[in-house]
Amino acid sequence: METAQELSRTLSDTVIEISVKAGVNGKLFGAVTSKEIASVLSSKTGLIIDRKKILLNEPIKTIGEKQIEVKLHPQVTTKIVVNIKTV
């Protein structure tokens, strides 16, 4: 539990950027999934976060900033900001 709380404090101010291809109206060609978010988060922070811990109701299909919840422990969750940008 203490480890999860420390990790929560570390991740709470984290902003990650993911560049994708998108159409004129801001809709993505495809979607950003929890697997991609986990990969970018791990490469940015050096921490290994399981994709199953990233709570997405559905894959992200539009550009812009999204607040994503990460469940680190049954009693500890934190939010990170994912900024989806066009290439």
> Which CATH number goes with the domain that contains 79?
3.10.430.100
Domain count, the chain: 1
Per-residue pLDDT tens digits for 30-39: 999 999 999 9
pTM, full prediction? 0.90
Per-residue pLDDT tens digits for 2-27: 999 999 998 988 999 999 999 888 89
Q: What is the pLDDT of residue 61?
A: 94
CA dihedral 44, 59, 67, 38 (to 10 degrees): -20
At 87, the pLDDT band (50, 70, 90 cuts) reads confident
- Domain hosting residue 13, numbered range: 2-86
Percent share of the chain, pLDDT over 70: 100
Q: What is the pLDDT of residue 13?
A: 83
Q: Which two tokens stand for residue 14?
A: 């984290």
